[in-house]
Structures are given as structure tokens and as C-alpha cells.
Amino acid sequence: MTSLLLAFDDEARLARALSDELSVPLALVDRHVFPDGETRLRLPPALPPRVAILRGLQQPNAKLAELLLAAAGARELGAIELRLVSPYLAYMRQDMAFAPGEVVSQRHVGRLLASVFDAVVTVDPHLHRVATMDEVVPGRRGVALSAADLLGALVAERLPGALLLAPDEEAEQWVTRAAVGRGLGHAVCRKQRHGDRDVDVALPDVDVAGRAVVLFDDVASTGRTLVTAARGAFARGAASVDVAVTHALFVGDALAQVRAAGVRHVWSADTVPHETNAVSVAPLVAAALRAI
């Protein structure tokens, strides 16, 4: 059983909710960033044997360094069992070498985390050619939760009978899970990516005219996929287009671009702190930690 939750100040809202769900104390890592970019961290001077660290890895490069330092410090200060809760787990897309010489980041980041933590809990990781999180963190316990049910229930409550559209085949698993048993139709678009901000989205052969459409995905980054899909739905006569997404990254002006395309509401899980957060994964994560 986890005895203490460690978290960083920029994720304090989810940390407090998770601490309440677990009924354990919360300690925020004291962090100071020097002018040259290095970080000084300060943890509680004495830690219990079982500690969970909450750290999402959006903007991963700096956060990975801080996370590794915090984990090493926690071990020195008394933590024996160390569990990572990373609601958004970065570097999962690159699960194979698509061209000679490409580094398979999922493999190496997974092994790195396995060398530091006894278990890793995450939400809707970008896994496609790897079946389970146990494979990502070899020799450790890996748990992949999903916010699809939470978001599906929210859509069913606010837009009964809506049509859920997955913007690409990779999102089919989440849109199916969200729709089943809630009176929501669902279909899958086809996406062709030409570059980071250049995508084509072909809507499925389903009648969207006059319907409330909800684009449903695991992550929104540049927003280009959502913009293209929304425009396509309106061109086919959709009455409204909303978005439900687990991880609201929305880099730069991505959210403004999505709204400019006519999207009315954007709902996200609190895996990434964002103004669109509408459901909390704290109960799911707490249950997973108790089960480990």
C-alpha cells in the first residue's frame, strides 16, 4: 500500500485528488530552476518505504531529468518500493525503427523507467505494436488505464445519441470502448499523415447530416487532425462537432485552431493539466495503485 504521494507543483490539482482517493499524505517536490536550466530538487528529508511519484511527461525532455533525479533522491531518503504514476507517458509512438538508424524511443525509455521504478501506471498510452505496458517496462509491473469510459459517459450525458468519430484507425480502440453500451454510434475515419502539421482525413461512409458529432481520440497535439476531421464533418452536414480527448496537449495555438474550425466543446481528462479538463482519472489511478 502506498504511504506517500510525491508530486510536482504544476500537477498539484490531480495530485490532491489522487491523494484524497488514496487517503495518503501528499508532498510537493520543491523545485528551483537555475539560469542555466539545471534544476535543484528538495524532497521531504525522510520518506516511508512505499512511495508513489506523480509525474506526467508532457514536454518530456526536461521532465524526464527531474523525474530521474527525484526518484534517485527518494531511494536515498528511504523509499524502498517506488511507483511511477505518469498519466501522459511520452516517447511511446516510436515503437519500431521505420527507417534505418532510427532510435526506438519506446524501448529505451521503457527500459530506463524499469531500471528506476518498481511499477509504472499510465493512461491511454500510444501502444500499437506492443500489447501491454508490462512489455514496455520489462521485469516490472506496467499498468495501462483508459479514460475512454469516463469520456464516453460524459458525452452520453451531455449529448445523448451523438455519433463518435475516431479520426484514424489507431483511435478505434478508444472510440469503440466509449460508445458501447451508451447509446452512442461510432465510426472510424482514415488518416494519411504527410508531416507533423499536414494530414488528410477521410470520413467513413456514414450519414452525419443533422447529427451531433464528437471527435474522439487519445491525444491532441497540433490539432491538425481534429481541424481536418471537423471541417469534413461540417461539409457533410453535421449539426455540431465537439471533441473528447484523453490527453490535451494542444501545442501553441492548436486549441484556437480547433475552435476556429467550428468545434463547440472540447472535453479532456486531467491527465495533462489544461483548461478543457472535464473528467478526472484520480479514482482509476488510485484503484490501480491499490491493486498492485
The model's pLDDT over 108-159, given as tens digits with 9 standing for 90+, comes to 999 999 999 999 999 999 887 777 899 999 999 999 999 999 999 999 999 9
- Catalytic residue status for 63: no
Whether the model pTM is above 0.85: yes
Given the residues 126, 140, 191, 211, the one annotated as active site: 191
At 165 the pLDDT is 93
Measured CA angle at 142 (ends 137, 144), to 5 deg: 125
Give the pLDDT confidence score for residue 48 in this predicted structure. Answer: 97
Q: What is the pLDDT of residue 267?
A: 98
Place of cell 509491473: 141
pLDDT at 194: 47
HSE toward the beta carbon, residue 180, CA cutoff 13 A:
7
- Strand-pairing partners, residue 41, are 31
Give the whole-angstrom CA distance, residue 129 versus residue 188.
19
Domains of the chain in start order, with CATH, are 4-146+280-291 (3.40.50.2020), 148-270 (3.40.50.2020)
Q: How far apart are the first and last CA of the chain?
A: 8
- Stretches in the chain below the pLDDT threshold 50: 194
